[in-house]
Amino acid sequence: MPTITEFLSQFQAGARPNLFRVEIPFLGERISFMAKGAQLPAKTISKVPVNFMDNIFYVAGDTSYQDWTVTVINDTDFSVKFALENWMNVIKTSGQTAGDKGWSYLSEAYAIQLDALGNDIVTYKMFNVFPTDMSAIELSWDSKSTVEEMQLTLSFSHFGKYTGVI
C-alpha cells in the first residue's frame, strides 16, 4: 500500500477549478472576463455489442462530444449577450425562413486551464462551435445584491488538446 511520502513524491500540485480562461472569438475579447464558469470538454466513446456463440463482447463505437456550457456574467453594456444574439442571428434571423448560407457561423472556442501564476497549462480547442441555447436572464425585485448571469450552450464537432500557449 502506498505511503503518504510516496503520494507526495508523485503529487506535484492540484489543478484549481477557479484558474481558467474562456476564449470564443465570435463573442469578442470580453468573454474572457465575463465567463464565470465553464468545463473542460467531455468525450464519449460508445460501445457496440458483438454476439458470438451465446457470449457478448464489446468493441469501440462512435465518438460523441457533449455540449459545452459557459456561465456568463452580464454587465450593463450587454456586450456578450448582444454578441451572442448577433451570432445566433447569423445562423438564423428571427422571423426568417432561412439562415446564413455556408459555414460562416462556425467558430472555434478555447477552455484554458491556468496555473497559480496565471500561465497556460493546457488549452482545449473546440472546433466548429456554434450556439444552441442562450438561457433567459432572470429579472426580479427580490434579487438586490446579485449580478445577472446567463448560460450559453454550444455544440462542437471535436476538440484538440495542447499544452502551454498555442
In a domain, 109, yes or no: yes
Which has the higher per-residue pLDDT, 108 or 104? Answer: 108
How many folded domains does the chain comprise? 1
In a domain, 1, yes or no: no
Determine the residue type at 156: F
Quote the cell numbers at residue 25.
472569438
Task: Tell me what pLDDT residue 124 has.
Answer: 96
Quote the cell numbers at residue 31.
468573454
In a domain, 7, yes or no: no
In a domain, 35, yes or no: yes
Q: Tell me the Cα Rg of the chain.
A: 21
Q: For 52-76, what is the mean pLDDT? A: 94
In a domain, 24, yes or no: yes
Distance CA 20, CA 100 (A): 33
What DSSP designation does 14 have? P
In a domain, 6, yes or no: no
Buried b (16+ CB within 10 A) or exposed e, 50-66: eeeeeeeeeeeeeeebe
State the sign of the Cα–Cα–Cα–Cα dihedral 134, 139, 142, 145: positive
Cβ proximity of 74 and 82 under 8 Å: no
> Which residues constitute the domain of residue 129?
14-163
- At residue 92 the predicted structure's pLDDT band, cuts being 50, 70 and 90, is confident
Summarised one tens digit per residue, pLDDT across range 6-28 is: 887 787 778 888 999 999 999 98
Which has the higher per-residue pLDDT, 102 or 148? Answer: 148
Phi, psi of 33 (to 5 degrees): -95, -30
Q: Domain with 48 in it: what CATH number?
A: 2.30.110
